[in-house]
Amino acid sequence: MQSALYVALSAQVALEKRLNTVANNVANVNTGGFRADEVKFEEVLSTTAREAVSFASSGENFISRRAGPMNKTDNPLDVAIQGDGWLAFNAPNGVAYTRDGRMKMSENGDLQTLNGYPVLDAGGAPIALDPRGGAPTITRDGAILQGDNQVGQLGLFTLGNESKLTRFGNSGVFSSQPAAPVEDFNSHGLQQGYSEGSNVNPILEMTKMIAVQRSFESAATTIQESESSLMNAIRTLGPSS
């Protein structure tokens, strides 16, 4: 069995997935609140041969939770999240979560994400402001004030480390497990007039892209050498005419 051939092919499958992930990260380096995709690879052992052969798995994607940079915008409807919290909004398929704190107010006063989805409070209800009440003030714990009146409260949630996150749009995620409302605003909170950028490190991602391309070329060379070795063996050991 030409083990090297199949090992190299498995490596190319894994590297192709890695390259697509890196390319998507680079494309979203300027997307507000974007969370980079990472790939976890595992070793797969085959015992069908006389000796165990180690293959590369195709890899499993997961979403990085590393915080992105905070950018000052001075927009009263922008908030940056401090700590591990997430904002919640109503997506077409359920409640989604995001670190992108850029919001807008509809003509009716509904608080929405930039894509028009309703932003939710800690109880999971949409938030409505007074469209004639002026620019709101948003406190660290999410209270929304217009003048001297509190008109709503942004929900801030934590997603457990065991929760599997799946992407919704560019900056939203669905969680495999229920989120928990933040109660400790000493380690978590909101800062008005700021927004969080993408957590993609462009220099690191470009370095990864170069490394993946070189590894792919190396795997291709291994495949060519393995095929050449196989053909030579067939010519040498095959029946002569």
At 115-137, the pLDDT tens digits run: 999 999 999 999 999 999 999 99
What are the pLDDT digits (tens) for 3-44? 555 555 566 677 777 888 899 999 999 999 999 998 775 544
- The answer on pLDDT for 47 being more than 50 is no
Asked if residue 196 lies in contact with residue 83, where contact means CB atoms within 8 angstroms, the answer is: no
Predicted pLDDT at 230: 61
What number is the average pLDDT over the span 222-226?
64
Domain ranges of the chain: 3-64+200-237, 72-196
Lowest mean pLDDT segment, chosen from 1-10, 80-89, 166-175, 230-239? 1-10
State the pairing for strand pair 60-63/172-175: unpaired
- The answer on pLDDT for 175 being more than 70 is yes
Asked if residue 156 lies in contact with residue 84, where contact means CB atoms within 8 angstroms, the answer is: no
DSSP letter string over 25-75?
A: HHHTTTSTT---EEEE--EEEE-SSSS-EEEE---EEEE------EEE---
pTM above 0.85, yes or no: no
How does residue 61 score in pLDDT terms, banded at 50, 70 and 90? confident
Rounded percentage of the chain residues whose pLDDT exceeds 90 = 61
What number is the average pLDDT over the span 151-163?
95
